Amino acid sequence: MVEKLQKSLRESTTARWIALAVVAFTMLCGYFLTDVMAPLKPMLEKELLWSSTEYGLFTSAYGWFNVFLLMLIIGGIILDKMGVRFTGLMSCILMVGGVAIKYYAITAAFPEGSSILGMKTQVVLASLGYAIFGVGIEITGITVSKIIVKWFKGKELALAMGLEMATARIGTGLAMILTLPVAEAFKFSTPVLIALILLCVGTIAFIVYCVMDRKLEKSLPADTEKEEPFRFADILFIIKNRGFWLIALLCVLFYSAVFPFLKYATDLMIHKYGVNQNLAGIIPGLLPFGTIILTPLFGNLYDRKGKGASIMILGACMLLGIHLLFALPLLDHWLIATVIMIALGIAFSLVPSAMWPSVPKIIPEKQLGTAYSLIFWVQNWGLMGVPLLIGWVLDKYCISSVERVITDGVESVIKHYDYTLPMVIFAAFGLLAIIVALLLKAEDKRKGYGLELPNIKK
């Protein structure tokens, strides 16, 4: 009878996929907020008088606490010691609290010239809220990764991870496409308010998952061998693993060429390709929607046929070529931008579909929470530093012209940027990613991790 109960959950196809759908929806809500400000960069400059450097500072805040206060590593340790239910609810609360602060910052009236540490009060408070949210969403990400391994290890692991990432990317796509039209139709702050409401709904969804997780644990036989508890010495095991560091480096290089790019992609469409401001988010929005089909497709391929290291190499090669095409000044028609963005969506599907399911082949399951948190910590150096670098480069080297516009008696300054140099920087990350992916394949051949082997065990 106990065995029957066990199979009715972990071994039940229906239960597995329902659990995946619930936590994937929570991630969708989080990713909507992650990118909701990206299409608003021109509006921030025009209406709130933010500079590109200030926008870059705000965007970099995502990784402040994760990197400097080691919150991601602490979150991973909490995950391995306290479990997915406690950690997931904690991170959802952090997300909601961070967005609430961010919403207050962009809606409150601050005295003219008010500053904190020499920076605009509004920018600092918005950045603080985004930094708290960044802790929440990243810890939620590692929690969901461990949840998927918990339900799908030895089964459709890469497909499940691909579907979760694809669902989360719907949030990114909706943010890219809908934010500017909604802000124009209502208020500047309306998209952030929508994100706050969505996150509250996402938190409720995770509570539903907690009920399922408790039932899963209760269904296990009483004499089931308990997993050895996490020890701090396990961190040394992880950081001594060369394969772990190659995965972490590939992660930071690849995502540094994608997520920070998306923060500036709408602005790129306006300044290089001449796309109307209200429509400029549609082209970057194609990228996450393309991954909805492709990431599960490539994940399913990895599950059944293997070739995970080769898939990562191919995606990194595509990333380099795509950013070089974005950098070429002569290719400035919006149709060309659309084709290149679709290609970036393919590359964006290839690498994550193989990278994340490869971690359990390198690191034991009891250490996965800490391993994923360390990878995300390394990744956050890029997510924090690269947007700030690009914003500084735009202000320092890439202002092609300045236009003064008077609207209803109020003068505003519109800056026009040349995005060639930022795209070359993104291409450099792609080149380094190729090198690391090749080293990872060589390490797999030496250590026999099985990255080129299928995930589904027959």
Residue 8 vs residue 385, higher pLDDT: 385
Give the separation between CA 325 and CA 420, rounded to whole angstroms.
10
User: Which one is predicted more confidently, 142 or 413?
Assistant: 142
Query: Does residue 11 surpass a pLDDT of 80?
Result: no
Would the pLDDT of 411 be above 90?
A: no
Query: Does residue 458 lie within any of the structural domains?
Result: no
Residue 416 has which token pair?
């026009």
Q: Are strands 115-116 and 119-120 parallel, antiparallel or unpaired?
A: antiparallel
279 burial (CB, 10 Å; 0-12 / 13-18 / 19+) is: middle
| Per-residue model confidence as pLDDT tens digits over 22-79 | 999 999 999 998 888 888 888 888 778 888 888 888 988 988 998 888 888 888 888 8
Instruction: State the maximum Cα–Cα separation within the chain, in Å, rounded to a whole number.
Output: 77
Q: If we measure between CA atoms, which residue out of 309, 383, 393 comes closest to residue 351? A: 309
pLDDT at 383 over 80: yes
Length of the chain: 458
CB 148 within 8 A of CB 20: yes
CB 101 within 8 A of CB 129: yes
Q: To the nearest 5 percent, what fractions of the chain are helix, strand and coil?
A: 75, 5, 20
Q: What is the pLDDT of residue 376?
A: 83
What is the number of domains present in the chain? Answer: 1
Cβ contact 387:41 at 8 Å: no
Is 54 a member of any domain?
Answer: yes
Q: How far apart are CA 448 and CA 458, in angstroms?
A: 19
Residue 5 has pLDDT above 50, yes or no: no
DSSP tag of 81: H
pLDDT at position 3 is: 39
Residue 218 has pLDDT above 80, yes or no: no
Residue at 45 is within a domain: yes
Quick check: is 222 in a domain?
no
Sign of CA dihedral 432, 136, 209, 174: negative
449/432 Cα distance (integer angstroms): 23
3-state SS, 249-263, equals: HHHHHHHHCCHHHHH
Element (H or E) spanning 399, and its range?
A: strand 399-407
402 forms beta bridges with: 415
Residue with tokens 């396990």: 234
The reported pTM is: 0.77
Q: Which of 454, 161, 154 is nearest to 302 (CA)?
A: 454
Asked whether residue 456 is assigned to any structural domain, the reply reads no
**Of the ranges 195-204, 253-262, 272-281, 420-429, which one carries the lowest mean pLDDT score?**
272-281
Interatomic CA distance for residues 239 and 318, integer angstroms: 29
Mean pLDDT of the chain: 86
The number of angstroms, rounded, from the C-alpha of 216 to the middle of its chain's C-alpha atoms is 28
Could you write out the DSSP letters of every residue in 414-445? Answer: EEEE--HHHHHHHHHHHHHHHHHHHHHHHHHH
Nearest to 137 by CA among 272, 243, 278, 34: 34
Segments forming the whole domain that contains residue 190:
2-214+234-447
Cα separations in angstroms, 79 against 51, 87, 134, 385, 429 = 38, 6, 17, 26, 31
Average pLDDT over every residue of 151-169: 83
What is residue 365's DSSP assignment?
G
Q: Which pLDDT score is estimated for 51?
A: 85
pLDDT tier for residue 2 given thresholds of 50, 70 and 90: very low
**pLDDT tier at 6, thresholds 50, 70, 90:** very low
Helices then strands, counting H and E runs in the chain, come out as 18, 4
Tell which residue, 53, 30, 49, 33, has the closest CA to residue 264: 53
In a domain, 322, yes or no: yes
Is residue 219 one of the residues assigned to a domain? Answer: no
**Is pLDDT above 70 for 283?**
yes
CA 109 to chain centre: 31
Are 303 and 361 a contacting pair, CB within 8 Å?
Answer: no
Residue 18 pLDDT grade (very low, low, confident, very high; cuts 50, 70, 90): very high
The answer on pLDDT for 110 being more than 80 is no
CATH at residue 110: 1.20.1250.20
Least Cα distance to 303 among 346, 255, 356 occurs for 356
Domain assignment of residue 80, yes or no: yes
Rounded CA gap, 16 and 181, in Å? 37
